[in-house]
A and B are shown apart, each in its own frame.
Chain A
Amino acid sequence: MIFGRRHIISTKDFSREEIDFILDRAERLEPYARKGGLDLLKDKVVATLFFEPSTRTRLSFDTAIKRLGGDTIGFDSAESTSVVKGETLSDTIRIIESYADAIVIRHPREGAARMASEVSSVPVINAGDGAGHHPTQTLLDLYTMRKECRKPLGDLNVAIVGDLRYGRTVHSLAYALSLYGASLSLVSPEPLRMPESIINYLRKHGVTLVETPRIEDALGQADVLYMTRIQKERFPDPSEYLRVAGSYRITPDTLESVGNDMIIMHPLPRVNEIDPGVDSTRHARYFQQAFYGVPIRMAVLSLVMGKEI
């Protein structure tokens, strides 16, 4: 399978076979994600352009690059760049492509990474574009489910809970799970329902789907409880945020009725939707999930740069 010089913009650009190929490669790279020892990206420079704050994504990309023996350049906020002087993203990309062998970009506007890929001669990896896509997050989510659940992805019942309207991670995840035939329970307050266009896409692709505002309706049959933060920064109207903030909170008590094998995931950061008391239960997987970002990003970086292992 050829990934060399390919842009990674949306999981929708990939077939199930291609996603499986990436997950398989991540599996092979996982031991090196913990202790390094590879030089697949020796003499390679990867630019990480974060126009928006990020902790896990940026640091896990940095770690992945370093574990592969590569170097990084870049920035973690637009304030320290020529953007404040009015430089366009297109110009920034045209300049950076001459410095780096690949570009990782996070940007607050939807479609920014797609546009960057049209301008760039080196591979562009989307690390989140507004409320749009975050494909490497989706890949690590799938990887977590594959590693931590006892069933194949296609047999899972995944309850996705929280901000389904603005949450880019859940949009990409829903698309990707539809490739495997997993069942979905979409749990959200009415104003934060999954966008109609995505619901239509899922239905068109035969996904078994339940929409409910009550988490209790989904907990019993869920194999995966995928919690998300209700993102204050995405709300155009703060009063709208206050109406739905704190709608869902998982505590050890909430988990009394769930199956033994049910796992809880979260793209993090969490605010108060998962009580710290849950961390020590058999269900918590969100910290493990955050670690899996490293082998996944190692897999993606090595693939787009045409490196075999």
Chain B
Amino acid sequence: MNVSDRELRVKPINNGTVIDHIESGQALNVLKILGIGSHSKTVVSLLMNVPSGAMGAKDVVKVEGRELDPEEVDTIALISPRATINIIRNYEVAEKFRVGMPRKVVGIIKCGNPNCISNSNEPVSSKFMVESADPVLLRCSYCEFVLDKNIADNLL
């Protein structure tokens, strides 16, 4: 890796959040969870399949000018339980922590039961209780459908 490559990948941000150690291939889903889409004005850097000693390969997302709230961050644990969060202020790492599994997940994941009331035209957000963190097991608060695989595929 030459210097310019290195600079390109890890160029520091002034203020914002760096989400590191994302499971390889999940960076786009992390953006989905954070509500960052094509309409978003946020400056975002995305690194995919970066070589990592501990993980083999990992993704990294840098969100400039925005500190993520803990609930938002914890939802990332559903698809990337080893992710770490670095809050950056004035180019310094002000806080560093790992994502933690949330107790409930609201409005982010679609229930896998097509007949669930949350999949109808009702003005209601999907709601899941986290029953188990490892392996991840979510239970719909409305119909009790259990979601335990392909969670990333059910992101709204």
Contacts and interface: CB of A to CB of B under 8 A. Distances in A.
Contacts of B115: 108-110, 130-131
Interface stretch (B37-45, B54-62, B119-127): B119-127
Interface stretch (B77-85, B91-99, B142-150): B142-150
A299 B148 CA distance: 38
Contact of B141 (A90, A107, A114, A129): A114
Contacts of B140: 111
A109 B141 contact: no
Interface residues of A, number: 18
Contacts of A89: 117, 120, 122
Given A132-B143, A197-B146, A111 B117 contact: yes
B68 interface: no
Contact of A115 (B113, B121, B122, B144): B122
B152 interface: no
Interface in B16-71: none
Interface residues of B, number: 17
Contacts, number: 53
A129 B144 CA distance: 12
Contacts of A118: 124
B117 A109 contact: yes
B123 A114 contact: no
B146 A90 contact: no
Nearest to A9: B142
Nearest to B119: A109
A65 interface: no
A10 B117 CA distance: 15
A271 to B, nearest CB: 23
Interface of A: 10, 88-90, 107-112, 114-115, 118, 129-132, 197
The 5 closest A-B pairs by CB, nearest first: A111-B142, A110-B143, A111-B143, A111-B117, A109-B117
